[in-house]
Amino acid sequence: DWGMKAYRDESIRRIREQVGSEKVICGLSGGVDSSVAAVLIHEAIGDQLTCVFVDHGLLRLGEAEKVVTLFRDAYNIPLVHVDASEMFLGALEGVTDPEVKRKTIGKLFIDVFEAEAKKIGQDGTGIPAFLAQGTLYPDVIESVSFTGGPSVTIKSHHNVGGLPERMNMKLVEPLRELFKDEVRALGRELGLPEVFVGRHPFPGPGLAIRCPGEITRDKLDILRLADEIYLEEIRRHGLYDEIWQAFAVILPVKTVGVMGDYRTYDYVVGLRAVTSVDGMTADFYPFDMAFLGRVATRIVNEVKGVNRVVYDVTSKPPGTIEWE
């Protein structure tokens, strides 16, 4: 893609000009935007860039390993992997309100990130001069919350907003002029693996907002396995790229079932899959029933603690994509 090759070269030139010999810190989430931003900036300024990946204990199965392997081992990008799961899960204990969950995670995330930034600063004293963000053009024009109407916050957004001012950092935002499909094209131009470039979006608060009610390690483990099976089946059937987002949720109720000759009393897993252009509106994905049946059977058979699976057929609006 000629356009993207030129864009990449021009971006690299501009990043070098903006940053000079200063240090840059980039919060890596494993998502497409921050990944592309990180690889691009690394091409421009090499090891003046340090990435920070905060594992809040609310990630999908194997996610932390995937990110660390890709960035540290495949790209050789200096990467700090912070395992903060104890801290986050501790802070979330007993929290059931969705907005309180979001705010708890958002606040802690900034604290953890700030602590890491201070360690990375010049000679371990100051902080890096620049914070890199994978802000896209739609974020720039639509600085209102992505789900919120003009004045109502439907869900508070989780990002490192507020951090640059608080820490007096300047921003590097090399994707500010791009739409999502262009970011993907740029990612390909930079040689990012297709599985990364084509990934479904994943929310900052992670599995916390896919686990209505209290978040426990038990429920998170069940959710991770169910989600993994669901996505594996979606990929196996070649449906992944037709879907904007697909994921499992775990409900805070148990229901009765029967397994062999025994009564079971276990959790319900909900499956969500939607098509969308920008996440603002969405339609539920019309799987065929045989597919859903197969996924349900696999989840109930393979995931201990689940005896019932339901499919969410709500579009957005009135439903949102995530359950919290």
Residue positions in the annotated binding site?
A: 29-35
Separation CA 201–CA 185 (nearest Å): 16
Considering only residues 227 through 266, tell me which ones interact with ligand XMP, judged by CB under 6 A.
Answer: 245
Report whether the peptide linkage leading into residue 318 is cis, meaning its omega lies within 30 degrees of zero: yes
Please enumerate in sequence order all residues whose Cβ is within 8 A of that of 280, keeping only pairs 6 or more positions apart, or say none: 146, 147, 316
Per-state percent for the chain, helix, strand, coil, to nearest 5 = 45, 20, 35
Separation CA 166–CA 41 (nearest Å): 23
- Bind-site residues for ATP: 29-35
The piece of 3-11, 91-99, 150-158, 300-308 that touches ligand XMP (CB under 6 A) is: 150-158
**β-pair type (79-83, 283-284):** unpaired
Find how far residue 310's CA is from the centre of its chain: 24
Nearest approach, Cβ of residue 29 and ligand XMP (Å): 8
Backbone φ and ψ for 150, nearest 5 degrees, come out as -55, -40
Nearest approach, Cβ of residue 282 and ligand XMP (Å): 7
103 binding ligand XMP? (CB under 6 A): no
> Positive or negative CA dihedral for 204, 209, 211, 215?
positive
Separation CA 197–CA 249 (nearest Å): 24
Considering only residues 282 through 321, tell me which ones interact with ligand XMP, judged by CB under 6 A.
Answer: 316, 320-321
Separation CA 183–CA 95 (nearest Å): 36
Find how far residue 212's CA is from the centre of its chain: 18
Question: By C-alpha distance, which of 59, 172, 173 is closest to 109?
Answer: 59
206 binding ligand XMP? (CB under 6 A): no
Site map (CB under 6 A) of ligand XMP, residues 29-48, x = contact: --------------------
Grouping H, G, I as helix, E, B as strand and the rest as coil, residue 206 is helix
322 binding ligand XMP? (CB under 6 A): yes
The piece of 47-55, 124-132, 135-143, 154-162 that touches ligand XMP (CB under 6 A) is: 154-162
Question: By C-alpha distance, which of 252, 177, 179, 254 is closest to 210?
Answer: 252
Nearest approach, Cβ of residue 317 and ligand XMP (Å): 9
Q: Residue 121 or residue 319: which is nearer to ligand XMP going by CB?
A: 319
Interface with ligand XMP (CB under 6 A), residue from 60, 155, 272, 308: 155
204 binding ligand XMP? (CB under 6 A): yes
Site map (CB under 6 A) of ligand XMP, residues 209-228, x = contact: --------------------
User: Between the CA of residue 258 and those of 250, 261, 262, 299, what are the distances in Å?
Assistant: 19, 7, 6, 15
Grouping H, G, I as helix, E, B as strand and the rest as coil, residue 120 is helix
Interface with ligand XMP (CB under 6 A), residue from 201, 214, 218, 297: 201
Q: Residue 191 or residue 201: which is nearer to ligand XMP going by CB?
A: 201
Nearest approach, Cβ of residue 263 and ligand XMP (Å): 35
104 binding ligand XMP? (CB under 6 A): no
CB atoms within 10 A of CB 59: 22
Nearest approach, Cβ of residue 10 and ligand XMP (Å): 27
Nearest approach, Cβ of residue 33 and ligand XMP (Å): 9
Q: Residue 57 or residue 279: which is nearer to ligand XMP going by CB?
A: 279
Interface with ligand XMP (CB under 6 A), residue from 101, 158, 272, 308: 158
27 binding ligand XMP? (CB under 6 A): no
Residues engaged in binding ligand XMP (CB under 6 A): 102, 146-147, 155, 157-158, 201, 203-205, 245, 279, 316, 320-322
